[in-house]
Amino acid sequence: MTPASERPAITRETLRQLAFDQSIRWTSQNDDLWQLIDNDLWQLTRNPSMVLSTVPEQKLQALLQRAECHRLVEGIVEAQQARLERPTWFASQGHGDRSYSEQLARVAYFSMEYMLSEALPIYSGGLGNVAGDQLKAANDLGVPITAVGMLWQHGYFRQSIGPDGRQQALYPVNDTRQMPIEPLLDTSGTALRFAIQLPGVQIWLRGWQARVGRHRLLLLDTNDPANPPIARLITSELYGGDNEMRLRQELVLGIGGWRLLEAAGLQADVLHLNDGHAAFAVLERARSYMARERVSFDVALHATRAGNLFTTHTPVEAGFDRFPPELLSKYLERYAEYELGIPLQSLLAMGRKHVHDPHEPFNMAYLATRGAGAVNAVSQLHGRTSRYIFRELYPRWPLESVPIGHVTNGIHLPTWVSPDAEAHWYELHGDEIPWRGTDQASVDDLLAQVDDRWLWQIRQHARGELLSFVRSHLARSLAVHGASPAEIEFAGSRLHPQRLTLGFARRFAAYKRPNLLLQDPERLARLLTHRDYPVQLLVAGKAHPADRAGQALLSEWQQFAARPDIAGHVVFLEDYDMRIARHMVQGVDVWLNTPRRPWEASGTSGMKVLANGGLNLSQLDGWWAEAYAADLGWAVGDGLEHEPEHDAADAEQLYRLLEEQVVPCFYQRDQQDIPTAWVKRMRRSMSALVERFSADRTVREYTERYYLPLSGRYRQRCADGSALASEMSRRITSLRSYWHELAFEQLEWRREGDAQHIEARLHLGRIEPERIAVQLFAESQGAEPATAHTLQLQHHEGSYATYRTELRTQRPEADYTARVVPSPALGLAVPLELPLILWQR
């Protein structure tokens, strides 16, 4: 410990640094500082920047003189210092020039939204949650990520629900002076400001930054007085405005975002696109490479795409952003021709399934795929769904070869675990964030050390905390809508801390089926108000202002919650956000989720209850389809996809599970009033799932399976004046031009003992024999995986060649089909980068 005399003085700047750091969690264990400065404001906003920006200088100076305040600040500063100095996972992996840090200098992570804290409301939901949690985990692990996003002046809309039960969308302004952001400075110390060209006008962009430990989130906004009003509104509303506005936003994020990164002096090996919104960054990265290395766009794209990763989040084609060709032409014709040096039609083709169809809209996910060195989905099931919806980009390739892998999402445990539960684990484990980086053995080890009573007490306490939050939230909402003190008092008093408490919160969109529980309102009412085994249900969620159907579903819940007979058994919490989510996932006993399979790509909210001892009852979709086991939660659905007519069957199953399993299990107590069967499930759920569905695991997986290999390939392709990228570009052009000349002349099978000898004779035309791979392909069948067995070049003469191989297999000859694909030599990703294929029949 540094002696007091040598420690730097504590000033407003010290507090500002703390307020800015989004990696610090302000929980009941360390928020005394902000309480001391302005408790009311702190409780209302949970925003340290806000508290700091409003405290009068005199009051702050007086506080800073107090020993108590000094001690608090020092404690926080030291804890943060210790976190930053702790050796990280990334820094300790590999060694010498094969160390991870040697292989990967920086990942640029692009996302339309980020959910980091309530102090920075620039998020809507799931996508922002994934981005925010991954950024925090990358900071914990030391994986070098710089994030890029948008500073939304109004964020996502705020929800108010009037006495009529209808949702009202409100757009309060985010005041930059009271957010944990600061202007981004260029190398000369001036606030970064630069222009990009949209048709007819220059648009000025301004750079900001937020801090997450040692990592940064760079943000852009267009609210610059030099811009015409329409341009100032580009960064106004997240997911607001029409299609053209969306295009402008995506141009700013993709093209502006990449320029911002470079203007801040940052180079990246890997570009990670969190969904397709930022896909224009692929073009801008190539453009910048072109200009720097003096190569053509084609060579630049082949060099840079090796370092691009596209994560798709959409399970249905309708979910992709698409723009009419005329709109794209208006915005990108000049950019294509003057900056990229390619015809507009070539650019448009990158966003099309059928590259020659001039009417097909431009699809951002296709652009992202055609500009990526790897593509992944966000759960195992979503991987399968995605291979299906992207299949037409790889015509005639087998479905299982569509080049989309998966990394299942995870959540940042320290963000979502309750301070109380964490403190309990801390006592046992002696580390600040006990779940993080723990291997399976140590989670089990911790669980083995505690008895049922210990676990159940955490649960009881958490439920109590949640209910007191719900009461105060409810009181405030009711007061705003004009309820009397008596009504407010009554509403809060009906909730009961010993009741089984269910939580259901998500976007109100038809595919999420938020009303599945309401299919039989009377049955639900009976379940909730059971005399001996009552249940209470907390509901929250917004419906997009343009989604009428979603708003109707929301009204249904309002009407149900307003029924006098179920008063106190259902509470709708208006304005679902990170704060409400945190309280709910920490306190509920069971988290419900009932999407229509396979529409939930992953889902993350159910993962947030795990470390808090909550259990999941969920449709077998997204992450739950791979997490579920009978002893750790409950599942709705039969693991198959169905039409909406099947909803009634799912609802029936949901009611029965609740009535026959969940409720009895919760209320079945031993002599000490502990539900032992329930606690057993809690143990299984924590042991099997907490670590596996953490963002730590996700980010380690992204690093090892994608970032490191992509960085390696990118560096190879750039080396020696882009030698490899140029060679690839030539080969790809030539294969594309002459592929139609390829033909199978003959294929012979000859059996000798238990071996098959196969010889293929091909007409090559102008294609060189080494440029292709001739394979025998067999589809997967039962337990047998699909195989592609490559033949060796035997003889080549003129435009003909023979290839030969020997095959030992139990499978019949009829299972195999011969095919020709581009040779993966040179590190070309096939079929991602070149989806050519020729089948023998």
Ligand X SMILES: *Cc1c(COP(=O)(O)O)cnc(C)c1O
Per the CB < 8 A criterion, the answer to whether 573 and 539 are in contact is yes
Please state the closest distance from residue 178 (CB atom) to ligand X, in A. Answer: 21
- Closest to ligand X by CB, 509 or 566: 509
- Closest to ligand X by CB, 505 or 718: 505
> Regarding beta strands 500-505 and 535-540, do their DSSP bridges make them parallel or antiparallel, or are they unpaired?
parallel
Q: How many residues bind ligand X (CB under 6 A)?
A: 12
Among residues 221, 321, 577, 691, which is the contact residue for ligand X, using CB under 6 A?
A: 577
- Closest to ligand X by CB, 543 or 578: 578
- In the DSSP assignment, the letter for residue 247 is H
- Helix and strand totals (H; E) in the chain: 31, 28
Q: Which of 348, 346, 378 is nearest to 363 (CA)?
A: 348
Looking at 21-29, 481-489, 598-606, 773-781, which segment touches ligand X (CB under 6 A)?
A: 598-606
By CB under 6 A, residue 48 contacts ligand X = no
Please state the closest distance from residue 578 (CB atom) to ligand X, in A. Answer: 5
Structure-block tokens of residue 250? 């995506």
DSSP-derived 3-state class of residue 802: strand
Please state the closest distance from residue 589 (CB atom) to ligand X, in A. Answer: 17
Please state the closest distance from residue 505 (CB atom) to ligand X, in A. Answer: 7
Please state the closest distance from residue 263 (CB atom) to ligand X, in A. Answer: 32
Please state the closest distance from residue 725 (CB atom) to ligand X, in A. Answer: 38
- Closest to ligand X by CB, 412 or 463: 412
Residue numbers 497-536 binding ligand X by CB under 6 A: 506
- Closest to ligand X by CB, 506 or 700: 506
Residue numbers 364-383 binding ligand X by CB under 6 A: none
Structure-block tokens of residue 661? 């399993």
- Closest to ligand X by CB, 222 or 376: 376
Looking at 59-67, 260-268, 572-580, 681-689, which segment touches ligand X (CB under 6 A)?
A: 572-580
Cβ partners under 8 Å of residue 693, min gap 6: 408, 409, 410, 411, 607, 610, 623, 627
- Give the x-and-dash track for 687-716 against ligand X (CB under 6 A): ------------------------------
Per the CB < 8 A criterion, the answer to whether 252 and 222 are in contact is yes
By CB under 6 A, residue 126 contacts ligand X = yes
Please state the closest distance from residue 730 (CB atom) to ligand X, in A. Answer: 45
Distance CA 490, CA 824 (A): 70
- Closest to ligand X by CB, 135 or 710: 135
Q: Which of 507, 626, 618, 587 is nearest to 129 (CA)?
A: 507
Please state the closest distance from residue 498 (CB atom) to ligand X, in A. Answer: 26
- Closest to ligand X by CB, 463 or 506: 506
Please state the closest distance from residue 599 (CB atom) to ligand X, in A. Answer: 11
Q: Which residue is nearest to ligand X (CB)?
A: 581
Residue numbers 433-462 binding ligand X by CB under 6 A: none
Cβ partners under 8 Å of residue 463, min gap 6: 497, 501, 587, 588, 589
Q: Which of 260, 255, 248 is nearest to 209 (CA)?
A: 260
422 exposure class (CB count in 10 Å sphere: 0-12, 13-18, 19+): buried
Looking at 362-370, 547-555, 571-579, 722-730, which segment touches ligand X (CB under 6 A)?
A: 571-579
Buried b (16+ CB within 10 A) or exposed e, 317-346: eebbbbbebeebbbbbeebbeebbebebee
Looking at 4-12, 72-80, 342-350, 604-612, which segment touches ligand X (CB under 6 A)?
A: 604-612
- Closest to ligand X by CB, 603 or 637: 603
Structure-block tokens of residue 252? 């700013």
Looking at 55-63, 384-392, 525-533, 576-584, which segment touches ligand X (CB under 6 A)?
A: 576-584
Among residues 48, 125, 514, 709, which is the contact residue for ligand X, using CB under 6 A?
A: 125
Among residues 603, 613, 675, 831, which is the contact residue for ligand X, using CB under 6 A?
A: 603
Please state the closest distance from residue 729 (CB atom) to ligand X, in A. Answer: 40
By CB under 6 A, residue 581 contacts ligand X = yes
- Closest to ligand X by CB, 251 or 578: 578
User: Residue 112's Cα: distance from chain center in Å?
Assistant: 11
- Closest to ligand X by CB, 88 or 604: 604
- Closest to ligand X by CB, 115 or 251: 115
Distance CA 595, CA 623 (A): 12
Among residues 578, 725, 776, 836, which is the contact residue for ligand X, using CB under 6 A?
A: 578
Cβ partners under 8 Å of residue 730, min gap 6: none
235 exposure class (CB count in 10 Å sphere: 0-12, 13-18, 19+): buried
Please state the closest distance from residue 618 (CB atom) to ligand X, in A. Answer: 10
What is the rounded (10 degree) CA torsion for 325, 326, 328, 333? 110
- Secondary-structure percent of the chain, ordered helix, strand, coil, rounded to 5: 50, 20, 35
Where do the DSSP E strands lie in 603-659? 615-619, 634-636
Among residues 297, 331, 576, 706, which is the contact residue for ligand X, using CB under 6 A?
A: 576
Looking at 16-24, 491-499, 599-607, 788-796, which segment touches ligand X (CB under 6 A)?
A: 599-607
Among residues 23, 45, 117, 129, which is the contact residue for ligand X, using CB under 6 A?
A: 129
Residue ranges of alpha helices (H) inside 628-785 are 647-656, 663-667, 676-689, 695-701, 708-738
Looking at 91-99, 105-113, 341-349, 597-605, which segment touches ligand X (CB under 6 A)?
A: 597-605
- Closest to ligand X by CB, 458 or 609: 609
- Closest to ligand X by CB, 45 or 363: 45
DSSP states of 158-222 as a string?
A: EEEE-TTS-EEEE-PPP-GGGSS-EEPB-TTSPBPEEEEEETTEEEEEEEEEEEETTEEEEEEE-
- Omega within 30 of 0 (cis) for the link into 48: no
Please state the closest distance from residue 506 (CB atom) to ligand X, in A. Answer: 4
Strand ordering across the sheet containing 838-839:
787-790, 772-778, 816-822, 838-839
Cβ partners under 8 Å of residue 453, min gap 6: 672, 674
Please state the closest distance from residue 605 (CB atom) to ligand X, in A. Answer: 3
> Regarding beta strands 182-183 and 755-763, do their DSSP bridges make them parallel or antiparallel, or are they unpaired?
unpaired
- Closest to ligand X by CB, 411 or 837: 411
397 exposure class (CB count in 10 Å sphere: 0-12, 13-18, 19+): buried
Please state the closest distance from residue 125 (CB atom) to ligand X, in A. Answer: 3
Looking at 123-131, 137-145, 204-212, 518-526, which segment touches ligand X (CB under 6 A)?
A: 123-131
- In the DSSP assignment, the letter for residue 532 is S
Residue 513 carries which side chain, given as an amino acid letter?
Answer: R
Among residues 88, 167, 605, 616, which is the contact residue for ligand X, using CB under 6 A?
A: 605
Per the CB < 8 A criterion, the answer to whether 379 and 625 are in contact is yes
- Closest to ligand X by CB, 252 or 578: 578
Please state the closest distance from residue 325 (CB atom) to ligand X, in A. Answer: 33
Please state the closest distance from residue 185 (CB atom) to ligand X, in A. Answer: 32
Please state the closest distance from residue 47 (CB atom) to ligand X, in A. Answer: 16
- Closest to ligand X by CB, 578 or 617: 578
Strand ordering across the sheet containing 800-807:
743-752, 755-763, 800-807, 792-797
Q: Which of 703, 708, 702, 717 is nearest to 286 (CA)?
A: 717
Q: Which residues bind ligand X (CB under 6 A)?
A: 125-126, 129, 506, 576-578, 581, 603-605, 608
